[in-house]
A and B are shown apart, each in its own frame.
Chain A
């Protein structure tokens, strides 16, 4: 090991990001687990009944959407009273975790003079917001 050349003291970066990642992922996990228990137990009535699903999950996506009138885009936000869409909300929390974690690092990066990392974090947040907007749903 080259003792003359010490690696950068990045422990605070790793630790702070890990803390945010851990917290956000646990929240997403807990919400999704609770939503699934409500859905699978029948406590939260679904838009599409569980008994119907074995006949529907064999269909292609266009056929399934036509047969069920299931929500696309951000329509699911208006259907959160149904158990299945409560689960979509839980899954969407997972898709937000990295956005929150990167966003939470921008100010600490700037405060410690890590301007390049702050710029990379801000750009990543912009990319994730653009993805969430649905503009790129064509792929």
Chain B
């Protein structure tokens, strides 16, 4: 029945699916590609090469759309994002140049296990180890801020620590993304929250902005390869952008406990997907 559908029905369906993805991805601090690729790759007739390209630009557009709202609400910190995204994007391009030196299946499997393990870690932990004193690098970069949490009815001051380890983590996440085109943005939130001690909402908001910077460089790889089909990519971009703006408003008023659950669920889905792909059981 699906094969008999006219060409114009597919962009409409894509628009609806990506609108919902846009709302969910901002609240969970991911780019959206990690959900888009398995869903569209499984249920739509497009080749995975074009689905991956659309997934990357969709994640870029969605995070760009949510960015201004998150910055103004102080849920994304530019001061925090700039060093992490720079490390991530340099490592991502270095990964793209080095190419495939390891088996993709092995890395997918390892990544899946790690992501599922981190999801359980977040679930079991009572929250991030809040940073009391910043380290020297964090002090130099003044990685601290303040935001109003309407859900908790309070103003929250925050600062981060373990800055060098945080930058190294984002370089690692970016490198894996560059080498394998994994879309590893879902690892940003635990790195910001569990490692660097940023509050979960700031971690989620800042993760989106980091993804927009790293995907800006990765998008050129797909453009230069001719791997973007407008009939797939553009309705997805438009849908996710509208959904993301609603998601950014929702993040501000959603209780941190709900955000935490959303992050855990998305990480379990993303980790299971990576694991199943690594084991050759799913695309």
- Closest Cβ of chain A to B39, distance in Å, is 16
Q: Which B residues between 55 and 112 are near A, CB-CB below 8 angstroms?
A: 57, 60-61, 64-65, 67-69, 71-72, 74, 77-79, 82-83, 85-86, 89-90, 93, 95-97, 99
Docked pose: A134 CA to B226 CA in angstroms: 12
- Closest Cβ of chain A to B26, distance in Å, is 14
Task: Tell whether A131 pairs with B225 under 8 Å between CB atoms, given A13-B79, A22-B68.
Answer: no
Q: Are B64 and A14 in contact (CB under 8 A)?
A: no
Q: Is A132 an interface residue (CB 8 A)?
A: yes
Task: Tell whether A7 pairs with B146 under 8 Å between CB atoms, given A18-B67, A61-B50, A74-B224.
Answer: yes
Q: Residues of A within 8 Å of B, CB-based: how many?
A: 69
Enumerate chain B residues within 8 angstroms of A36, measured Cβ to Cβ. 230, 234-235, 238
Q: Are B97 and A138 in contact (CB under 8 A)?
A: yes
Q: Are A138 and B96 in contact (CB under 8 A)?
A: yes
Minimal Cβ-Cβ distance residue in A for B143? A8
Q: Which A residues between 6 and 37 are near B, CB-CB below 8 angstroms?
A: 7-8, 10, 13-15, 17-19, 21-22, 25, 28-29, 32-33, 35-36
Q: Is B144 an interface residue (CB 8 A)?
A: yes
- Closest Cβ of chain B to A132, distance in Å, is 5
- 6 closest residue pairs by CB, A with B: A139-B96, A87-B230, A131-B217, A61-B49, A18-B71, A95-B219
4 additional A-B pairs beyond A25-B67, A91-B230, A131-B218, beta carbons within 8 Å, are A7-B146, A36-B238, A51-B7, A58-B47
